[in-house]
Structure 1
Amino acid sequence: MTTTSKESASDREILLVGPYGVLGTGVIDAVAANPAWRITTAARRPAPTYRTQTPPRHISVDLMDRDSTIKAFSNLDTVTDLVYAAYVEKPTMAETVAPNARMLTNTLEALAARNIPLKHIVLAGGAKSYGFSLGAFNAPAKETEPRLIAPIHYHQQEDIVAAWSSKNGATWTVLRPHLVMGPSLNSPMNLVTSLATYAAMSRELELPLRFPGRREGWNTLQETTDAELFGRATLWALDEDKARNEIFNVSNGDLYRWRQLWNELAVFYDLPVAEPLALSTVSEMSEKGPLWDSIVARYGLHATPYEQIANWHFVDWMLNFGEEVTLSTIKIRKAGFADCIDTHESFRRQLTKLRELRIIP
C-alpha cells in the first residue's frame, strides 16, 4: 500500500457498535494494543465494571429507537469508520431478522445525518450464513457459497450495508468468524465462559470433568476464532484496499476436536476427565444458581448473576453438533491477513483472562 492511497490510522476514529459482546471486546483489545487507532463505543449498557482498562469514550443509545439513535450519533464529527457487532437474540431465526436489520438501519441513517462522511464499514457476520444455525454445514465453507433460503439476519444486514455504502460513498467489509472465544458476559454466543463455569462447578462438587455432549460432538473437527485475532482482522480490513467490498471468513487457522481441547479445561481446573455422557445442560444445570452464588462469594469474584455467566442452550448446541464446521480462510490470507493462533493456546489464554478479571475462580 502506498501512503498516498489512504489516510493514516491516526487520522481515523472507529465507532464500535456492540462493544462488549465477545466480538466487540476483541476489537477494543486490538485497538488498545494499536494506539494509532482511536475508538468510540456505543451500546445500551455502559462499559462493564469487571474490565480493568480505562474504557474508551462511550455513548449510551437504544438502537431500536430511530430518533434517539440519530440524536446520539449525528454529532460524532470525528468518527470516520464503523465497526458493527451489535446483535439481539430472539427465540427463532425468523424473529431475529427484523430487529437486527432495524438496529443496523438506524445506525447508518444516524451516521448519514452528519456532515462528515463515513469511509468504511466492517460488519460482523458468522457461520450462520453457511447453515450452522440449521444444524447443517457444507465444510469447508467458502465465501462464494450461495445464500440459503432460510431467514438468516446476516443476509439482510449485508444487503443493507452494501446499499447504504453505494448511496453514501462508503466501502464495506464483512468478516465471518465462527465460535469466537473471548471474555464477555450476558452474551448469547460465548462458549468459553459457559464451559469455565461448568468446570468450576464440577470442581466445587468434587466431580471429574465430563463432556456433556454426544460422541459425534466429541470427535468431529471444529474451528474457532480468538476474539483478539478477530479484532486484529477488523483493523486490517479497515486499512486494506483489498478488503474493500469483500466478504472474508476469519478463524484461528487450525482445527480442533473436543476430545483434545477438553483436556485444556481439565488441566486449568486440575480435574480428572470422565467419559463423555450426553445430557442436556439446559435441564441439568438449571438449579445450579445457588451453587454459582456460593462460588462467587467464596472466591471473591465479580458478582455475575447466574443467568448472565452461562448460556446452556448454546453449550448444548455447540457440544452436540455432529458435522464438521470449518471455514476456508484462503481468501483472506491471499488478500494479506495471515495472522493466526493455536486454538489450544487461545483457549488457555481466554480462561486465564477470565480468571484475572475475577469472572471465574
Structure 2
Amino acid sequence: MSTKEVTPRKTALVVGANGVIGRNLIEYLEQLPDWDIIGLSRRGGETNSRVRYVAVDLLNEKDTQEKLGNLTEVTHIFYAAYQDRPTWAELVPPNLAMLVNVVNAIEPISFSLQHISLMQGYKVYGAHLGPFKTPARETDAYHMPPEFNVDQQQFLEKRQLGTNWTWSALRPSVVCGFALGNPMNLAMVIAIYASISKELKLPLRFPGKPGAYNSLLEMTDAGLLARATVWAATDERCANQAFNITNGDLFRWNELWPKIAAYFDLELAPPLQMSLEVIMADKEPLWKAMVERHELVNNAYKDVSSWRFGDFVFSWDYDFFADGTKARRYGFHDFIDTEAMFLNIFEDLRQRKVIP
C-alpha cells in the first residue's frame, strides 16, 4: 500500500487582490493544488471554485475586524495593498494602518499562521527622491523618513518577536502586468499612450526628462514576482529576510523605445519632455471613440490611464537598479527578458481587447 505523503493545505490571504501584484499572485496560486485563496480588496471580486473574494475597507478597523474575524484558516498573509496620496508624508498613515488592521484581525484568531509577506519597493532605498546608490542592496541603510515601506517592515519585525510565524519583504522594481484601475501600471501607460498616438497619426515620442532616455533601469514582471513571493513565503531559509526581485536584465529606454514603436507600427520621433498627466487629460472623448470604433472592451479612461505614474517613471534621469543576487543565493533563479515582457503584455492587452 502506498504511503504517499499528503501535502498539508495552505490558505493564502491576498491583500490588495485587484492590483497588478495581487491579481497576478492569485493567478499563480490558482495553479498550485495545495492552496486555498481568499482575496481582499475594496471592490471585492467574483468568487469561484478556487478564490473567495471579500470586499473590505481596510482603513476602517471595525469593518476589517468584522469581515476578517472568521478567517481562522489563514496560514499565509500576502500583503500587497496600497493607498495613493499626494505627498510622501501623507502616504504613511493609511498604508501603515491597513497593514496593522489586517494583522490585528488575523493574528489572534489564526493559530496556524505561518508567514506574512510584505510587498515593498525601491522607495526603501530612496529611489523616488533622486539619484541613489546603485546597485541598491538589501543591507543598505534606511533614508530620512517619512517612508511607509520602512514603517511597515519595522511593524512586522516587532510584532513577529516571540511568535511562530515569520515575515519576508519583497522589493521589486516597477511591476508590469495586467490590471485595470491601478495607479501604478507602466505597461498600460505605454500601451494607451502609443495607441492614442497611432489614432492621431503621430509618431511615438519618449515623453520623459532628456536624461531619462539614457538612464540604466530594470523592471519586474508581475508573474515572476508572484513566483518569488510564494517562494520566499514557503522556503524556511527566507524567514525574516528582504529580497530584491527583478527580471535579471538591465535596459535603457533609448534602446527599448524604438522596439515599442515598432510593435505598435509607429514611426519614431525624437524625445520631447511633456507631462502625460497634463497633455492626456483631454483625451477621454477620443478614447471613448476608439473603444467604439475598434470594438474594445468598454473600460473607463480613468481605469486604463495611470498618467501620473508614467510621468514619475519617465522622470528618472538617473540609474535605477538593485542587486538581485541575494534571491539567487537563497535559491530563486527565475528570470525574464524585459523586452519580451513588454511585448507579451501588449499582446495580452490586444487579446483582451483593451487596446486596438
Shorter-chain TM-score bucket reads over 0.9
Which residue of 82, 90, 100 corresponds with 2:85? Answer: 90
For residue 39 of structure 2, what is the aligned residue in structure 1? 41
For 1:9 and 1:357, the matched residues in 2 are separated by 36
For 2:6 and 2:59, the matched residues in 1 are separated by 33
For 1:121 and 1:25, the matched residues in 2 are separated by 18
For residue 9 of structure 2, what is the aligned residue in structure 1? 11
For 1:12 and 1:252, the matched residues in 2 are separated by 27
- Name the aligned partner's letter for residue 160 of structure 1: F
Query: What TM-score comes out, normalization by structure 2 length?
Result: 0.94
Q: Deviations over 1:291-325 (max 9, x none)?
A: 11111112222222222211212111211211101
For residue 210 of structure 1, what is the aligned residue in structure 2? 205
**Does the Cα contact within 8 Å between 2:207 and 2:273 map onto a contact in 1?**
yes
* 3-state SS of 1:39 partner: strand
For 1:235 and 1:330, the matched residues in 2 are separated by 18
- Name the aligned partner's letter for residue 213 of structure 1: G
For 1:87 and 1:54, the matched residues in 2 are separated by 27
- Name the aligned partner's letter for residue 26 of structure 1: N
The alpha-carbon deviation at position 357 of structure 1 amounts to: 2.0
For residue 188 of structure 2, what is the aligned residue in structure 1? 193
* 3-state SS of 1:83 partner: strand
The alpha-carbon deviation at position 32 of structure 1 amounts to: 2.7
Question: What fraction of aligned residue pairs are identical, expressed as a percent?
Answer: 38
- What are the equivalent positions in structure 2 for 1:92-107 lying under 5 Å apart? 92-107=87-102
The alpha-carbon deviation at position 170 of structure 1 amounts to: 1.1
Q: Deviations over 1:198-237 (max 9, x none)?
A: 0000111111111112221111110100000000001101
Q: Deviations over 1:256-281 (max 9, x none)?
A: 11112213321221111111111111
Give the superposed CA RMSD: 1.8
**Does the Cα contact within 8 Å between 1:211 and 1:277 map onto a contact in 2?**
yes
- What are the equivalent positions in structure 2 for 1:236-275 lying under 5 Å apart? 236-275=231-270
For residue 123 of structure 2, what is the aligned residue in structure 1? 128
For residue 4 of structure 1, what is the aligned residue in structure 2? none
Q: CA 1:95 to 1:28, structure 2 compared with 1: closer, same or farther past 3 Å? A: same
Between the two proteins, the alignment pairs up a number of residues equal to 352
Q: Deviations over 1:33-60 (max 9, x none)?
A: 33332211011112389xxx97721011
- Name the aligned partner's letter for residue 199 of structure 1: A
For 1:33 and 1:42, the matched residues in 2 are separated by 19
Which residue of 153, 165, 180 corresponds with 1:170? Answer: 165
For 1:8 and 1:358, the matched residues in 2 are separated by 42
Q: Does 1:277 align with 2:272?
A: yes
Structure 1 segments, 4+ long, off by >6 Å, are: none
**Does the Cα contact within 8 Å between 2:36 and 2:50 map onto a contact in 1?**
no
The alpha-carbon deviation at position 165 of structure 1 amounts to: 2.1
Which residue of 303, 307, 310 corresponds with 2:305? Answer: 310
Runs of 5+ unmatched residues, structure 1: 1-6
Which residue of 19, 22, 25 corresponds with 1:24? Answer: 22
- Name the aligned partner's letter for residue 19 of structure 2: G
For residue 112 of structure 2, what is the aligned residue in structure 1? 117
For 1:36 and 1:213, the matched residues in 2 are separated by 45
* 3-state SS of 2:64 partner: helix
**Does the Cα contact within 8 Å between 1:108 and 1:164 map onto a contact in 2?**
no
Q: Deviations over 1:328-350 (max 9, x none)?
A: 01111100001100101111111
For 2:71 and 2:7, the matched residues in 1 are separated by 17
Q: CA 1:352 to 1:271, structure 2 compared with 1: closer, same or farther past 3 Å? A: same
Runs of 5+ unmatched residues, structure 2: none
**Does the Cα contact within 8 Å between 2:75 and 2:112 map onto a contact in 1?**
yes
For 1:167 and 1:264, the matched residues in 2 are separated by 52
Q: CA 1:276 to 1:55, structure 2 compared with 1: closer, same or farther past 3 Å? A: farther
Which residue of 140, 152, 175 corresponds with 1:145? Answer: 140
The alpha-carbon deviation at position 8 of structure 1 amounts to: 7.4
For 1:115 and 1:124, the matched residues in 2 are separated by 21
